[in-house]
Amino acid sequence: MAQRIRLQIARYRPEQESEATFDEYEVPYTKEMAVLDGLNFVKDRLDGTLAYRWSCRMGICGSCGMTVNGEPKLTCATFLGDYAPGPLRVEPLRNFPVIRDLIVDIGDFMRKLVRVKPWIVRSAEKPIAGGEYLQTPEQLEEYKPFSMCINCMLCYSACPIYGLDPKFIGPAAIALAQRYNLDNRDEGSADRMEVLSEHEGIWGCTFVGECTKVCPKHVDPAGAIQRYKLTAAIDSMKAFFAPRGA
């Protein structure tokens, strides 16, 4: 027998209202139902006008990040039963402009992500006949934790620095830059250094650590940033003492 939980869902319909309001819905739940299932119940049975993003339902696509009772969460991996009997508040991710209801504008993040070249950069590809680029398990382990990022932007929502200064390039972009910097097949770290060593790159971070706390994939962006600060500082000292790239 399903129990019931009350959901307070942020609504924002720009053609009707200038500020977000809350609508309350009561939905049945069982212990395996996630907050996303609750939203789907509302959309399918109670109010078809509710707008939100989702896709895979299994913590891989990174689409369903929202603010659940004040905390950034993947709604597919957050369970209704943990918040019973409610009311449970679902709001859009913080620090992003809201387009409609629970949908935020992620354009800023997408533009920043591209700037750090999150792909393997090589000056010359070897011919296909040359075979694969082999890696040892140790070389894989170097960058693997950072490769778990699913671009869900929970870290941007949790980061107080990004909230204060939207120019800050942000946790996931830096962690993803490190994912490629630490890959032994990659040759793009100098290009990324240009972007990351700007004031709005790593130096914007004051190591609050919220990004790591909320990351659903345990990526540790805060750790990535501090490690990169050391790399960049050493690089900068080298440039100071040996300006000709010696």
Partner 1 sequence: MLRRHPEPLLWMLFSAGGVVSGMLMPVLVLLFGVAYPLGVVDAPTYDGLRALVANPIAALVLFTLCALSFLHWAHRFRHTLYDGLQIKHLNEVIAVVSYGVALVGSGVAAYLLWQLS
Residues that bind partner 1 (CB under 8 A): 160-161, 164-165, 197-199, 203, 206, 229-230, 232-233, 235-237, 239-240, 243
Least distance from partner 1 to the Cβ atom of residue 65, Å: 24
In the 3-class helix/strand/coil scheme, how is 130-188 assigned residue by residue? HCCCCCCHHHHHHHHHHHHCCCCCHHHHHCHHHHHCCCCCCHHHHHHHHHHHCCCCCCC
- Distance, in Å, from the CA atom of 196 to the CA atom of 133, rounded to the nearest integer, reads 27
User: Minimal CA–CA distance to 41: which of 24, 29, 58, 55?
Assistant: 29
User: Of 141 and 165, which CB lies nearer to partner 1 in the complex structure?
Assistant: 165
User: Of 26 and 235, which CB lies nearer to partner 1 in the complex structure?
Assistant: 235
User: Minimal CA–CA distance to 216: which of 56, 8, 64?
Assistant: 64
Least distance from partner 1 to the Cβ atom of residue 240, Å: 6
User: Of 90 and 158, which CB lies nearer to partner 1 in the complex structure?
Assistant: 158
In sequence order, what are the residues at sequence separation of 6 or more whose Cβ sits closer than 8 angstroms to the Cβ of residue 110? none
Contact 122, 186 (CB under 8 A): yes
Least distance from partner 1 to the Cβ atom of residue 206, Å: 5
User: β-strands 3-11, 88-91: how paired?
Assistant: parallel
Least distance from partner 1 to the Cβ atom of residue 225, Å: 11
Least distance from partner 1 to the Cβ atom of residue 232, Å: 6
User: Of 102 and 225, which CB lies nearer to partner 1 in the complex structure?
Assistant: 225
User: Of 51 and 232, which CB lies nearer to partner 1 in the complex structure?
Assistant: 232
Question: Which single residue is written with the structure tokens 């942000």?
Answer: 170
Tokens encoding 182: 């630490």
User: Of 218 and 244, which CB lies nearer to partner 1 in the complex structure?
Assistant: 244
Least distance from partner 1 to the Cβ atom of residue 159, Å: 11
Phi, psi of 107 (to 5 degrees): -55, -40
